[in-house]
Amino acid sequence: MPQSNQTQPLPLAILLMGPTAAGKSALALALAARLPVELISVDSAQVYRGLDIGTAKPSPAIVAQVPHQLIDICDPSEAYSAARFRDDALAAMSASVAAGKIPLLVGGTMLYFRALQQGLSPLPSAAPAIRAHLTAQAQQRGAAQMHQWLATVDAAAAARIHPNDPQRVQRALEVFLSTGEPLSAHWQRSHAAALPYRLVKLVCAPKDRAVLRARIAERFDAMLTAGFEAEVAQLLARGDLSPDLPALRCVGYRQMVAYLHDQISVAQMRQQAIDATRQLAKRQFTWLRAEMNCQWLQDEKTALNSALELINAAIDTRGV
């Protein structure tokens, strides 16, 4: 709908989404070399200091050349939430616009993208006793049975939360046990204000899933070569980081922790980490297919030019 002459157009923002190992970061850097953008990370693991190799975090040299917002903002002992991300991202976007830049949000944490666009319903904190009870139940029952439990008390939430996402399953059960209401009821009461930006939504994802599967394995092997084991060993050597913390439950880190605790072999660690990353990519594709008004960039050879055309068209139409 055309803007009235008496209203200022909303500022432009770019959302660059995609599955892990799809080439989002490289595309974002290429765009940053050609457009007045500021990069804002949308990655629930890159927020943690010291989680570098296993999160494919941009190197200090790259960050010095092209600053990235919302990386290295949290100690691994902390739990970073989608609600906190939304607050941080909105502040970073506002600062970018004030500096004459276009916010370019890049990453693969789809829950964060949804929180940014749709908001989050305020949820109660779980009592420590309830959380401890559910943690013990998860260890006894396993992920599949915990998801079945959720389905009996909140079918709508169970339909939206993948069985292989134990943190979100447990959080949904925490809400139910704490309030007596299903999480889905809290979702329905959420009435977030519209995001005050014009969005160009891009999805970076190879058309051939086999390419992505191979790239995931190659990238994890490269992480091992780059010193991923030593990185995780250094984190554990701090002595204050529980394996149950969100930082150490990130894909790759969880498997490396199990290996360093002599629970699995090095071969099992490698295969389990690769398998878990591929499962993550599948979940990301599920989220992405539900995203509205996205332009899919599925050919690496043309992705940059296609992205530039779409962004420049948005700039030319209404200005930055």
Shared domain check, 38 and 135:
no
pLDDT band with cut points at 50, 70 and 90 for residue 291 = very high
pLDDT above 90 (res 280): yes
Shared domain check, 61 and 19:
yes
Does a structural domain hold residue 246?
Answer: yes
- The β-bridge partners of 18 are none
Q: Between residues 320 and 294, which one has the greater pLDDT? A: 294
Does a structural domain hold residue 7?
Answer: no
Does a structural domain hold residue 5?
Answer: no
CATH number, domain containing residue 217: 3.40.50.300
Does a structural domain hold residue 140?
Answer: yes
Q: Which two tokens stand for residue 223?
A: 């992480």
Shared domain check, 239 and 198:
yes
- Give the pLDDT confidence score for residue 4 in this predicted structure: 46
Does a structural domain hold residue 109?
Answer: yes
Q: Between residues 120 and 219, which one has the greater pLDDT? A: 219
Shared domain check, 199 and 306:
yes
pLDDT above 80 (res 317): no
Q: Mind giving me the DSSP string for 118-165?
A: H-----PPPPHHHHHHHHHHHHHH-HHHHHHHHHHH-HHHHHHS-TT-
**pLDDT average, residue stretch 294-309:** 97
Shared domain check, 240 and 183:
no
Of 272, 295, 275, nearest to 283 (Cα)? Answer: 275
Does a structural domain hold residue 178?
Answer: yes
Q: Which domain holds residue 148?
A: 128-188
Which amino acid, one-letter code, is at 246? P
**Tens digits of residue pLDDT in 56-92:** 999 999 999 999 999 999 999 999 989 899 999 999 9
Shared domain check, 74 and 108:
yes
Domain stops at, among 188, 208, 233: 188
Of 200, 288, 203, 196, nearest to 13 (Cα)? Answer: 200
Annotated binding-site positions: 18-25
Does a structural domain hold residue 273?
Answer: yes
pTM for this entry: 0.79
Shared domain check, 95 and 225:
yes
- DSSP H or E stretch at residue 149: helix 143-153
Q: Hey, which bits of 196-289 come out as E strands?
A: 198-204
pLDDT above 50 (res 49): yes
Shared domain check, 136 and 100:
no
Shared domain check, 24 and 110:
yes
Does a structural domain hold residue 165?
Answer: yes
Shared domain check, 284 and 230:
yes
pLDDT band with cut points at 50, 70 and 90 for residue 190 = low
Domain stops at, among 148, 170, 188: 188
Annotated binding-site positions for ATP: 18-25
Shared domain check, 172 and 225:
no
Q: If you average pLDDT over each of 4-13, 156-165, 178-187, 273-282, which comes out highest?
A: 273-282
Shared domain check, 265 and 224:
yes
Number of folded domains in the chain? 2
- Give the pLDDT confidence score for residue 193 in this predicted structure: 55
Of 76, 59, 77, nearest to 68 (Cα)? Answer: 59
CATH number, domain containing residue 132: 1.10.20.140
pLDDT above 50 (res 247): yes
- Which residues are CB-contacts of 126 (< 8 A; sequence separation ≥ 6)? 134, 171, 174, 175, 177, 178
Annotated binding-site positions for substrate: 20-25
Domain stops at, among 167, 188, 209: 188
